[in-house]
Structures are given as structure tokens and as C-alpha cells.
């Protein structure tokens, strides 16, 4: 599967097989059983929360590829959680709206234009097989100047992470996510930050919608 840059943006190319995965079965099979667990340790969770506080995750927030907990510094005015597992989303105590949707099957976010102030994605970007299309549509649902902030660590489900992600480390992961922003043609220049964590490493990447 491939992804490509937006017309008129700086050329960004991904090598053949970059978005392939070891397990190419329908994602609904893999994500069917609820996993009400934390996917990073407590120190990394604290680092993620601090990052979201600093970049300003407020107002009407979209939590992409979400689960039973959103690692935000405070409950926002309105929180929409989008993920693969209904039971996990139902267990999220801060969620005001829950959307079960597979972004690999359909990268379009099923929300109206310009309806959120901030979008976040926590430790899940490595599973996207059409990330540029997803980033482009996140820009569509963001209000002008709205920010998309992503965090990730070195943990993942290897069978479902894309091969390009598995082939590199923390620094390379930050550059991969930054390349998605650039290829979408919809955001200002992204900022990569390696966050302080006594446990699992944490990297954040964010950019504002043009």
C-alpha cells in the first residue's frame, strides 16, 4: 500500500513496501478483543500528558486511534474519541462523543469541516497505512490555526506496525511523522521534540493547520 504527497507540496516519497505490515488481515480482527491496558509505562504517560499541556490541547478535541483513556492534562470542553473498539471507547470517562472507525480502511475522519480546535494521536501513528491522507483530513476537521499533536514511544504491536517504522529508531520515527505533515500540504512546518521520561522514551511531533 502506498501514500503520496499532496499536489503542490514539497515532494515526499516513501520506498516500496514502507507501509506494508507483517499482518495484513482486516484490522477489525486484530483489534476486536478489548485491551483495557496501558501501552506505555507510568513515566511515559506523565511525559505525554506534560507534552499535551505544553502544546495547548484545549477546546474541542479529537483523540484519534483512541482507547479507554485519553492522556490529556485536563478534561477539554468537548472530547471526541475515534478508535477501532467500541468497548474501549465506551470505557473512556472523558469522552463526550465516540466514533468507531478504521482509518486504514477509510482515511476520511467522519466529522464535519472545521469542528475541532485540537487533534491528538497517542502511541498509534505507527499503525497508519495511509497516513498522508489521514493527516490531510485531520486538517479538514481542524479549525483555522488548530493544532495536530502526536506522541509515540518504542512500544508497538510489531505485526501491525508498518515496516518503515520498524526499520528505524526514535529519531527516525520523529522524521517519519514530520514527513507525513509535510506531504499532506496542509500544515505549517512540524516541530519534533524528544520528551523527558524516566521510563519508556517519548517523542512528540506537532504542527498547526495552515
Contact yes or no for 162/197 (Cβ under 8 A): no
pLDDT for position 138? 98
Q: Residues 133-166: pLDDT tens digits?
A: 999 999 999 999 999 999 999 878 899 999 999 9
Q: Residues 161-210: pLDDT tens digits?
A: 999 999 998 889 999 999 999 999 999 999 999 998 877 889 999 999 99
pLDDT for position 106? 97
Q: Which residues pair with 64 in a beta bridge?
A: 121
pLDDT for position 37? 52
pLDDT for position 197? 83
Q: Residues 54-107: pLDDT tens digits?
A: 999 999 999 999 999 999 999 999 999 999 999 999 999 999 999 999 999 999
pLDDT for position 188? 98
Q: Residue 123, by phi and psi: left (phi above 0), alpha (psi -120 to 50) or beta?
A: left
Q: Report how far apart the first and last C-alpha atoms of the chain are (Å, whole number).
A: 27
Task: Round to whole Å and give the CA distance between 97 and 141.
Answer: 15
CA-nearest of 100, 171, 176, 169 to 135 is 176
Q: How confident is the model at residue 27 (pLDDT cuts 50, 70, 90)?
A: confident
SS (H, E, C) 118-182: EEEEECCHHHCCCHHHHHHHHHHHEEEEEEEEEEECCCCCCCCCCHHHHCCCHHHHHHHHHHHHH
Q: How confident is the model at residue 4 (pLDDT cuts 50, 70, 90)?
A: low
pLDDT for position 155? 75
pLDDT at 11 over 70: no
Mean pLDDT of the chain: 91
Q: What residues contact 120, with CB distance under 8 A and at least 6 apart?
A: 52, 57, 61, 62, 63, 64, 70, 72, 148, 149, 150, 151
- Average pLDDT (106-129) is 97
pLDDT at 35 over 70: no
Amino acid at each position: 500500500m502506498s501514500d503520496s504527497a499532496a499536489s503542490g507540496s514539497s515532494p515526499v516519497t516513501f520506498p516500496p513496501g514502507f507501509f506494508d505490515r507483517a499482518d495484513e488481515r482486516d484490522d477489525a480482527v486484530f483489534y476486536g478483543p478489548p485491551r483495557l491496558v496501558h501501552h506505555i509505562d507510568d513515566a511515559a504517560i506523565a511525559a505525554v500528558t506534560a507534552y499535551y499541556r505544553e502544546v495547548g490541547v484545549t477546546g474541542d478535541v479529537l483523540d484519534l486511534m483512541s482507547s479507554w483513556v485519553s492522556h490529556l492534562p485536563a478534561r477539554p470542553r468537548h472530547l471526541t474519541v475515534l478508535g477501532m473498539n467500541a468497548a474501549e471507547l465506551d470505557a473512556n470517562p472523558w469522552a463526550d462523543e465516540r466514533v468507531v472507525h478504521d482509518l486504514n480502511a477509510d482515511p476520511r475522519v467522519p466529522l464535519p469541516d472545521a469542528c475541532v480546535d485540537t487533534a491528538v494521536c497517542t502511541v498509534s501513528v505507527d499503525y497508519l497505512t495511509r497516513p498522508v491522507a489521514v493527516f490531510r483530513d485531520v486538517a479538514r476537521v481542524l479549525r483555522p490555526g488548530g493544532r495536530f499533536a502526536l506522541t509515540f514511544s518504542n512500544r508497538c504491536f510489531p505485526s501491525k506496525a508498518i515496516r518503515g517504522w520498524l526499520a528505524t529508531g526514535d529519531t527516525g520515527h520523529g522524521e517519519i511523522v514530520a514527513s507525513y505533515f509535510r506531504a499532506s500540504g496542509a500544515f505549517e512546518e512540524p516541530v519534533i521534540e524528544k520528551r523527558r521520561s524516566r521510563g519508556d522514551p517519548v517523542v512528540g511531533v506537532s504542527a498547526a493547520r495552515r
